[in-house]
Structure 1
């Protein structure tokens, strides 16, 4: 995705969430993309989030949405509006 869109990805807040052991979608793709977005001009840390859940496989969405890993994705989403 980064190769196609570059810093245009920074126009929309992104929170990438992966299980550390994900064997379906390699977390490295999100790690690289989030790090690249963070390097774009004007990007604040809250607009490019990354959570890698230790010991989890591809099905980390339950932990992401429940907040059991300490992330509050709902408050994060509600903090942004479209102008």
Structure 2
């Protein structure tokens, strides 16, 4: 089972999204998850503008690939890495 977990990039913060159903847009789900977590205070208090910039600059990754705010999320577990945190 642990073989399916992608390697975490260096100097990144990983958030695990465990979804009971698929979601059409990842940005709203991810922002909510960041605000609810307690492991990274800077990301917990991130502004919408700063959050948008993370996508624009390619610092949000799913399976090592750049994520878009409009990326759909499948049911189940998704590992999201945020570079620089």
TM normalised by structure 2 equals: 0.25
Larger radius of gyration: 1
Greater relative contact order, per chain length (Cα 8 Å cut-off, separation 6+):
2
Q: Quick check: which one's helix share is greater?
A: 1
Q: Quick check: which one's strand share is greater?
A: 2
